[in-house]
Structure 1
Amino acid sequence: MAAKLAQLRAQAARAAEFASKHGGAYYKEVMEKNKQYVVQPPTVEKCQELSKQLFYTRLASLPGRYEAFWKELDSVKQVWKNRKDLKVEDLGIATLFGVELYAWFCVGEIVGRGFTLTGYKV
């Protein structure tokens, strides 16, 4: 345990040293590439205004998303009504999608437990 801690400290020190040497240049490069996205003057008031604009813009998009959701649900209902006309390829794609979704949930659970299968850390 002590060896792992010392190794972690050494890695953290190397990362901090690298960031202190190259961080400023990286920051300048990123800001130069993305200067068209910076609002002038960059003040706290402007940031608060942009934050409110983002919030209310997203809020305004909810009715459109709601309509899109119900259209998608209607198309799924239509496919379910005509399920006897489905091809094997369509069923295979749907099955793969379901398996992938289930796998992501399982992986999420494992990650949530700290990458352990039983929930107990050794």
Structure 2
Amino acid sequence: MATTVAAALVTMPPGAVREMHWHPNADEWQYYISGQARMTVFDTGPNARTTDFSAGDIGYVPRNLGHYVENVGDTDVQFVGVFRAPRYEEVSLSNWLAHTPPRLVAQHLNIDEKLIAQWPDTSPGVMPKT
């Protein structure tokens, strides 16, 4: 068993979105195996960058930066995320919001707490096209 590297294989059907998330323990290197993807990475302040990827491309996300990946093609996107860390760690936006006091979330997002009560408390990971 590896003690210095972790990896995740992600498969996304057409139109799917890999939920907004970040990795607290390592940078992420991605190798795109198939499909057409678009990734947006949010840096500190108002900075964000969006990049398109296809088979053979390499993506990079610095540790702790929020990001999401979209399948913008008509075939499955598959990529492997590699981390120089002993284990895979992720904080998803949905999980983070679900474990923040509802009153605080409601005040910051200007929404009703009743809506927050309907949110799942676990991450969907890859969300299908709606």
Of Structure 1 and Structure 2, which has the larger fraction of its residues in helix?
A: 1
Larger radius of gyration: 1
TM range (shorter): under 0.3
**TM-score, with length taken from structure 2:** 0.17
